Structure 1
């Protein structure tokens, strides 16, 4: 036929794309699938892609149209699948794996649709056909795994209807065919373990998948377990056999039965010699075996926990004994040189320690077990020779993750026996530090690492580390004293260097107790061991750690401040792009250095004049470099070069800004005599705002500096704000304005009436700049532009809210009637028209405040009329918008503010407002007198919560009798901000 001919063209490779397009049409066709079914049943085509797509067409039909097929068509699908399967039995060569997988999916889909009702003999039909034919068995096993994916797999989300269907299928299978399936698995495992190991492995995977929901006795019996154990001795089968046993052990069971099962399995495995881990060379198998032992151990611990809770003391004691018996094997696997094998047993180890933590008293053997686990963890924390510290890849990342697991064990060990842990670490640390010059780097690193890890591992009561419990304090203090005085800071390996500085900073409180060690440690930070180390990774980390060290201990560094500043001076230089020498520190690292320098200067005991001189010497080079680079920038023609210069200028501003973090309420800029220095910085940096190129990064950095100066300089910053604002409002983009508004809001909130004249002056230029940006046309599908406008609109409303709430009534009041009206109309529009609940909430807060300011008898002329014409309708219209989603938390808050606005109108206008609602507004909307009266009564309740609840109920109902949706209540002139 024409369709069959078209299928055939796929064998001509030049027409393959044409054929694929045609296949897509076949999927959608009502009857073309029958052609594909015939092609499969008769084996018409040899091309693998044609066969695969025929199955896809059939799959599409079963998945989406099965219910609409006639009984004859459904029978045709069943016959097609069985004929295709029969063909496989006669083929000398099996189909490609991808075709067999797709066929199994189609078999599984048909099974799911038809097993309970139309094809109850599904498995019997398949089994009677395939017998022990290898090709047929392969399809049968693949089908079982595909059924598991459709019906059982817990990682796949199912609808409630699918879950009910799957439960029914499993129940029916248990009743009708599971024993037969299990028997078939046994036969396959027995028949093919020598001749077809790949089929045996497939079958083991099936058993493992199905054991979670079938009767365990069908599998956990002598003949099955003995067969599985025989597979454990066959190289090609042992890993799958291990996985299968793991699934058996993992099955949910009664604790007593689970213990019996695990113990019998252990006994057999031990008798067969599998516990002799040292003699096994196959690490892939051992990783699987370790996972199996982990499953058995965790199952026993879970059984013990359940038995203890149930009060079954005798059996719980026996189960604990069973757990303890596995500890020697646990230790062999935990300490194995292969990390995968070790990682797979960590779960059991962790659970075992948790059991010991709950016991009232530990036996000598249990204490010995704890110590053995400690030693194993300490050994496994050690890096190996192949770890690449300079270029960490996937293997290194895996070891880092493995170390995190070991740290969990160490923390748990500390909970079980902090004394034993402390003593063990002390022993390892002391022995290593005595011989660090001749020890391998990994031994030195892990010894310091263990000391570092004690900081988190020891219980919270020892959090201070150097106060309280004398034994622990003494041990930690001794180790820290050894660390900083034995010379190990000079060990030539990046891992040791990093661990030394990390530990010094972790235990920085030690230096408060023994400050005599500070000079030596400072030198380590400052010389080739730290900030001048050959490794960029070490230098970068040390820059951060040094800032932390200084912040904690600056009170003990007064004598060294100028020496430190002198030694780090070259690290504080701005590196211009044309400098061909690589800098020791990155600009991010330098931020920490400038902050450190600031902390040293500000917190020193020098008089204010000296602090000023030090701060000036720190910041003057930045200002000088800034002026030179800024003069060069407009002359550059290459964009890449411009960007590099702008980057450098931004760093200069950022560094100056970072030094200001050192000031506090106790040590202000003024008290330290540094006001003039930072004012000079402002004068140096502000011209960058009018630079014609690279405006974005320059404005952003200067704006950030202004934010800092508003906090640090206080009133001294005010003279700089008008000029800065003028520059920032020129040629604005949405992002510029959005970032500028918080600056103005910060000034408003901090200085209030002091900045009232400036705000009155800048208010309308800023508002008009916002309107202009919002009115710019944008493409409909430009989501980035739409989001920028939304964020700008929110910022605008926040700005108006700040002004309205700051007590500076005059800022808006003095803008002229036309401008005030224009601004207030945008607030009305924001409250009603834009589906942005965050902005809507802000708008209603503003409206409430304006009613409070101007809505009384002595308020602004004409404002009461505006309330009745626009604000009242907005309060009713906003909640009835289809976009007003009351399942959204922000929208609920908006509704609350809306109710509050109505309440404030009532407070300000009194009976006049009630009369307006009852006699004019609500009747004009044909609202019944009963509902109008009900609303007015609620409005007059003293508690605003009553009104909020009432409006929420009405909004939930979207009650058209209260408000006519199709009446436009709030007319906002389009001139406000057109084009939004």
Structure 2
């Protein structure tokens, strides 16, 4: 039945719009009505009356009324009259009374919203207007299940408002919350705890869902109330009895976990954990093998993990105090949990096992700190090792070709186990090495008949030793230690027992990963290289039937060759002929699927380059091999570019451009093989790369697909500048001309680093070219920056910001490379135009990164042109524009002196002032004191102070002073 008295006058038409299926017109009206009720001084009272009288049966209307009420309490409580505040309290209590009388409870979403409103009212009024909040509610609801449900939901909502650490609170709210908790502890917590006990006792059979809710409440509150109210025989026995009730056991477990997790004195914590463990053990909960409910066991494992970690924490605290007796007792308590830990760790369900890893990890950390290990502790370590080895194993259901959520979870779980293995290696490396050796050797002897997961994990363990045992990779095979010989034996077995032929992708991958992890082994025993090379090159590796294996092996092969290139001389031509088909460019019209993706092919080209360059062949042979590697790419490029120029269909154009980009990328990647010692010239490869440049550069003037083509050719030029040095210079002017034609902001932004690289590398060699290209480039930048864009187009705004930064960096490179003439020879008008953009960049754009660059440039220009024999008219420019920039920029509201990047900008600004003083001397000081600083209304005392600091030799003093100067000026 509904509680009914008088009808509140509400806009019935607007209420129709609350139904989710209502049309837009009604929904709009409902929203407007909601805003009206929220903002009105007293219109919301109709909602209060509707809730108090229960006249509406529609759930959406009830929810709406609570929302209106929530808004009043949350945002307008202080402005309500005493009568209105009283009305809210009465409304809530009347609504609650209705719940006691209704046969059916409200829907959960309404009960949750009501609980939120109760909690908000509590937070606002408990300390002042409603100290008897809990007593009023408890006396009303008694043990009525509908009432108890709202009471428990309200407690959870209060926890969210007052206690939950994940919710950010202001300092005022934190102070208020502390006061609320203190008052609750004094006034009502014992009564609340008593009510929880009554609820748990009364409802555990008839209303398990209420009991679970109550257990959750106890778990939430236990962290900040007196533990003795909960951790006593009466309460704990009740919780333990509920651990045996199927519907309650998981929540009871969670509740015990929260009790155990409560911060307390280490000796008391050990006693609490021990007493809990005794009761749990005598009740049969430690017999993990007999428990079939895996969901419960996952919770139980979490509880044991909490108890174990609490004991570790107690032990750590006690060990620091030097309390020998209590420390020993806590360690004993800890050790007694290890049999249970092992049962849970080795459980076939990974969730149960994962939940105990934390305790296991910390237990091993304790053992690591002990001066000596007992036999029992060594036995424990071995048992943990065996458990970890067992649990690392894949199960039959793992889907290697299409990994989903379950597979991702197992990968994460494996990472946790790896942490345990690393910790085991720290505690007892000899034991771990011996255990892995035993498992590995036994499995490799029978790999043909073993299941894939056994073989995979045996190889995986050998791989994991590389990180677990403290040594650099090379050191694994140097020195005459037990470890070296054990690892060497295992590697010898791995590469000679034939396991590389095992027909499962996980084993194949693990084999190659391990071979590359221990590539230094082959320096010690190079006789195994031919066998392993064949594994890489045939159907076990690069021609495996799994694309995933082929892809990974392409990368691993490149790493293997890089490390062992000195040992490859005898095999170079054989390898190159065997990978020939993997180096072919797959044109877009080819119907067949290539063995490797273009990304994988990059590694193959790099590998081929490394083999050719580092071989011991005569120069002519290297030259011939490199040409035969690159010539097919050039031929294909010419052919495809001609096709692209004739193609009209967008999709085909994109596919052809993609293929052209790959050809350039592959050629570029071969050059990675050249080191500083082994230049392209010494290998006789200059000519073939010059031919590549000649082949690729025409793509820059291709009218279609400009973006990808320019990008790939530009990257190739970057590489060639590094490899070919001045040989590349003849190609630069034409390339630049093409790249500056019809370019967008992004093209320019990517082109500038190329010009900067050339400038920094060749300096005066490229001065004539730079003088020629300087203004065309600058004008192209100005044009791109001036292009209008939509106000809200953030991508365009960011593109312009990045271009502006690139432009300033380019000017900085030129001024900083000692090429004064590049800018000096641009004509007075152009110079002025450029320098004005630097002033503008320093002052007008709130981008500290660009501003810092601008001040560096200004400082350099003052150094170059600001002296007695500098550029004509420049000293005048300094006083008119550069000095004001040094003051106007830091005075801008956007110049944030609490930002680290901005402070760096200010430092450069200070250095600019210092440079002006260095170049102009007393004249500058006089200008500041008599003209400029008075115009900024700076007092004579401060002016004098600033000028004195400017004349001191210590720049650090100036930087600190300038910061303080502008901080004061901005107050």
Which category describes the TM-score, using the shorter chain as reference length?
Answer: over 0.9
Residue 3 of structure 1, aligned match among 3, 12, 22:
12
Q: 1:843 offset after TM fit, Å? A: 1.2
1:49-85 superposed Cα distances (whole Å, 9 cap, x missing partner):
0011111111111111111111111111111111111
Q: 1:916 offset after TM fit, Å? A: 3.1
Are the structure 2 counterparts of residues 929 and 55 from structure 1 closer, same or farther at C-alpha, using a change threshold of 3 Å?
A: closer
Residue 639 of structure 1, aligned match among 647, 650, 653:
650
SS of the aligned residue for 1:820 comes to helix
Q: Give the Cα–Cα distance (whole angstroms) in 2 for the partners of residues 550 and 350 of structure 1.
A: 38
Contact map agreement 1:462 1:469 (CA 8 A) in 2: no
Are the structure 2 counterparts of residues 273 and 677 from structure 1 closer, same or farther at C-alpha, using a change threshold of 3 Å?
A: same
Q: 1:917 offset after TM fit, Å? A: 3.2
Q: Which has the larger displacement, 503-512 or 840-849? A: 840-849
Residue 729 of structure 2, aligned match among 718, 729, 746:
718
Contact map agreement 1:3 1:35 (CA 8 A) in 2: no
1:242-268 superposed Cα distances (whole Å, 9 cap, x missing partner):
001111111111111111111111111
Q: 1:951 offset after TM fit, Å? A: 2.2
Q: 1:154 offset after TM fit, Å? A: 1.1
Q: Give the Cα–Cα distance (whole angstroms) in 2 for the partners of residues 821 and 834 of structure 1.
A: 19
Match of 1:14 in 2: 23
Are the structure 2 counterparts of residues 405 and 12 from structure 1 closer, same or farther at C-alpha, using a change threshold of 3 Å?
A: closer
Contact map agreement 1:353 1:413 (CA 8 A) in 2: yes
Q: Which has the larger displacement, 515-524 or 787-796? A: 787-796
TM-score of the superposed pair, with normalisation by structure 1: 0.95
Q: Give the Cα–Cα distance (whole angstroms) in 1 for the partners of residues 766 and 131 of structure 2.
A: 85
Contact map agreement 2:16 2:22 (CA 8 A) in 1: no
Contact map agreement 1:277 1:333 (CA 8 A) in 2: yes
Q: Give the Cα–Cα distance (whole angstroms) in 2 for the partners of residues 940 and 146 of structure 1.
A: 65
Are the structure 2 counterparts of residues 564 and 769 from structure 1 closer, same or farther at C-alpha, using a change threshold of 3 Å?
A: same
Contact map agreement 2:152 2:213 (CA 8 A) in 1: yes
Contact map agreement 1:407 1:453 (CA 8 A) in 2: yes
Q: Give the Cα–Cα distance (whole angstroms) in 2 for the partners of residues 268 and 463 of structure 1.
A: 53
Contact map agreement 2:18 2:60 (CA 8 A) in 1: no
Contact map agreement 1:611 1:673 (CA 8 A) in 2: yes
Match of 2:868 in 1: 857
1:599-655 superposed Cα distances (whole Å, 9 cap, x missing partner):
000000011111110000000000000110011112111111111111111111011
1:673-719 superposed Cα distances (whole Å, 9 cap, x missing partner):
10001000000000000000000110010000000000100010000
1:338-385 superposed Cα distances (whole Å, 9 cap, x missing partner):
000000011111111111111111111111110000000000000000
Contact map agreement 2:473 2:520 (CA 8 A) in 1: no
Q: Give the Cα–Cα distance (whole angstroms) in 2 for the partners of residues 908 and 9 of structure 1.
A: 75
Q: Give the Cα–Cα distance (whole angstroms) in 1 for the partners of residues 751 and 291 of structure 2.
A: 69
1:98-151 superposed Cα distances (whole Å, 9 cap, x missing partner):
111111111111111111111111111111111111111111111111111111
Contact map agreement 1:462 1:468 (CA 8 A) in 2: no
Q: Give the Cα–Cα distance (whole angstroms) in 2 for the partners of residues 560 and 783 of structure 1.
A: 55
Q: 1:911 offset after TM fit, Å? A: 2.6
Q: Give the Cα–Cα distance (whole angstroms) in 1 for the partners of residues 685 and 790 of structure 2.
A: 50
Q: Which has the larger displacement, 462-471 or 778-787? A: 462-471
Q: Give the Cα–Cα distance (whole angstroms) in 2 for the partners of residues 602 and 494 of structure 1.
A: 33
Are the structure 2 counterparts of residues 822 and 4 from structure 1 closer, same or farther at C-alpha, using a change threshold of 3 Å?
A: closer
Are the structure 2 counterparts of residues 485 and 889 from structure 1 closer, same or farther at C-alpha, using a change threshold of 3 Å?
A: same
1:505-529 superposed Cα distances (whole Å, 9 cap, x missing partner):
0000100000000000000000000
Are the structure 2 counterparts of residues 851 and 132 from structure 1 closer, same or farther at C-alpha, using a change threshold of 3 Å?
A: same
Matched, 1:173 2:184: yes
SS of the aligned residue for 1:678 comes to helix
1:777-797 superposed Cα distances (whole Å, 9 cap, x missing partner):
122222211111111111111
Q: 1:950 offset after TM fit, Å? A: 2.8
Q: Give the Cα–Cα distance (whole angstroms) in 2 for the partners of residues 544 and 538 of structure 1.
A: 10
Structure-to-structure mapping, 1:627-706, within 5 angstroms: 627-706=638-717
Q: 1:935 offset after TM fit, Å? A: 3.3
Q: 1:900 offset after TM fit, Å? A: 1.6
Q: Give the Cα–Cα distance (whole angstroms) in 1 for the partners of residues 738 and 25 of structure 2.
A: 63
Match of 1:557 in 2: 568
Are the structure 2 counterparts of residues 6 and 344 from structure 1 closer, same or farther at C-alpha, using a change threshold of 3 Å?
A: closer
SS of the aligned residue for 1:460 comes to coil
Structure-to-structure mapping, 1:189-228, within 5 angstroms: 189-228=200-239
1:359-413 superposed Cα distances (whole Å, 9 cap, x missing partner):
1111111111100000000000000000000000000000000000000000011
Residue 592 of structure 1, aligned match among 603, 610, 625:
603
Are the structure 2 counterparts of residues 670 and 272 from structure 1 closer, same or farther at C-alpha, using a change threshold of 3 Å?
A: same
Q: Give the Cα–Cα distance (whole angstroms) in 1 for the partners of residues 34 and 884 of structure 2.
A: 59
Are the structure 2 counterparts of residues 168 and 928 from structure 1 closer, same or farther at C-alpha, using a change threshold of 3 Å?
A: closer
Are the structure 2 counterparts of residues 110 and 863 from structure 1 closer, same or farther at C-alpha, using a change threshold of 3 Å?
A: same
Residue 284 of structure 1, aligned match among 272, 291, 295:
295
Contact map agreement 1:444 1:496 (CA 8 A) in 2: yes
Q: 1:570 offset after TM fit, Å? A: 0.3
Are the structure 2 counterparts of residues 946 and 316 from structure 1 closer, same or farther at C-alpha, using a change threshold of 3 Å?
A: closer
SS of the aligned residue for 1:844 comes to helix
Q: 1:316 offset after TM fit, Å? A: 1.0
Are the structure 2 counterparts of residues 894 and 13 from structure 1 closer, same or farther at C-alpha, using a change threshold of 3 Å?
A: closer
Contact map agreement 1:350 1:409 (CA 8 A) in 2: yes
Q: Give the Cα–Cα distance (whole angstroms) in 1 for the partners of residues 371 and 356 of structure 2.
A: 26
Contact map agreement 1:330 1:349 (CA 8 A) in 2: yes
Are the structure 2 counterparts of residues 576 and 170 from structure 1 closer, same or farther at C-alpha, using a change threshold of 3 Å?
A: same
Matched, 1:322 2:338: no
Q: Give the Cα–Cα distance (whole angstroms) in 1 for the partners of residues 836 and 765 of structure 2.
A: 28
Are the structure 2 counterparts of residues 736 and 218 from structure 1 closer, same or farther at C-alpha, using a change threshold of 3 Å?
A: same
Are the structure 2 counterparts of residues 931 and 374 from structure 1 closer, same or farther at C-alpha, using a change threshold of 3 Å?
A: closer
1:885-927 superposed Cα distances (whole Å, 9 cap, x missing partner):
1112222222222222222222222233233334444455665
Q: 1:931 offset after TM fit, Å? A: 4.1
SS of the aligned residue for 1:11 comes to coil
Q: Which has the larger displacement, 847-856 or 4-13? A: 4-13
TM-score of the superposed pair, with normalisation by structure 2: 0.96
Are the structure 2 counterparts of residues 526 and 26 from structure 1 closer, same or farther at C-alpha, using a change threshold of 3 Å?
A: same
Q: Give the Cα–Cα distance (whole angstroms) in 2 for the partners of residues 798 and 4 of structure 1.
A: 64
Q: 1:868 offset after TM fit, Å? A: 2.1
Q: 1:10 offset after TM fit, Å? A: 5.9
Contact map agreement 1:4 1:35 (CA 8 A) in 2: no
Q: 1:280 offset after TM fit, Å? A: 0.5
Matched, 1:76 2:96: no
Q: 1:869 offset after TM fit, Å? A: 2.0
Q: 1:933 offset after TM fit, Å? A: 3.5
Q: Which has the larger displacement, 771-780 or 728-737? A: 771-780
Q: 1:594 offset after TM fit, Å? A: 0.4
Contact map agreement 2:220 2:258 (CA 8 A) in 1: yes
Q: Give the Cα–Cα distance (whole angstroms) in 2 for the partners of residues 463 and 115 of structure 1.
A: 68
What residue ranges of structure 2 are gaps of 5+ in the alignment?
1-10, 964-971
Q: Give the Cα–Cα distance (whole angstroms) in 2 for the partners of residues 894 and 8 of structure 1.
A: 56
What residue ranges of structure 1 are gaps of 5+ in the alignment?
953-980
Match of 1:93 in 2: 104
Residue 149 of structure 2, aligned match among 138, 152, 162:
138
SS of the aligned residue for 1:336 comes to coil
Contact map agreement 2:602 2:665 (CA 8 A) in 1: yes
